Every structure is written in C-alpha cells, then in structure tokens.
C-alpha cells in the first residue's frame, strides 16, 4: 500500500493506471513540456492525486485463495458498485 501511496510510476502498475486515467488528461501544455524535457514532475503529480483524491477499503480474509476470488469478483463487476475504473476484468 505504501508503494501505491508514494505515486512512483516505475514498477507500480497502480500508479501507472492512476496517471494514465486521471492525471495525464488534466496536464497543462507547460507540464507536458516540463516532463518531456526531463523535469521529474509526473511522479509528484501522481502522488498528489493519490493522496488527495483516493481512498481505499480492505477486508481481512482467511487465505490468499479467498483474496484472489474476491478480487476477481470485484474486477468483474459482480457487486452493486459495478466494475472498477482501474484494472477491470474483461469477461
């Protein structure tokens, strides 16, 4: 969870999803230009978005297999909330 919260896109698929879906569409031309020139603002913007806009919930389960089953149910949209915006499962 800490790696997700840090917002570093390298090696963290969640942060890449957040950046692509929520941060990138709202970048100004100046921010895009800064990123293209090597100024490292993308991780910072991703971190700021995660920490200010996102929350999480969790449930303790008995084992890893149960956790995977619940994850598949969530990703496939079988709960009232529907499929998640990030990393939905394609049926």
Tell me which DSSP letter residue 12 carries: -
In angstroms, the CA 74 to CA 85 distance is: 11
Q: Is the pLDDT of residue 66 over 90?
A: yes
* Closest by Cα among 30, 40, 56 to 8: 40
Domain positions in the chain are 2-53, 57-91
Token pair of 28 as six digits: 């100004």
* Under 8 Å between Cβ of 6 and 46: no
Position 44 scores a pLDDT of 87
In tens, the pLDDT along 4-58 reads 555 556 677 888 889 889 999 999 999 888 888 876 788 889 999 999 999 888 8
CB neighbours of residue 86 within 10 Å: 15
Position 73 scores a pLDDT of 94
Q: How many residues does the chain have?
A: 91
In angstroms, the CA 4 to CA 56 distance is: 11
* Closest by Cα among 19, 11, 12 to 48: 19
């Amino acid at each position: 969870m800490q790696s997700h919260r840090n917002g570093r896109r390298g090696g963290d698929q969640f942060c890449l999803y957040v950046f692509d879906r929520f941060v990138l569409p709202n970048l100004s031309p100046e921010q895009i230009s800064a990123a293209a020139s090597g100024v490292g603002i993308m991780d910072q913007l991703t971190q700021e978005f995660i920490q200010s806009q996102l929350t999480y919930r969790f449930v303790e389960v008995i084992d890893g297999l149960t956790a995977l089953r619940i994850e598949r149910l969530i990703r496939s949209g079988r709960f009232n909330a529907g499929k998640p915006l990030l990393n939905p499962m394609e049926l």
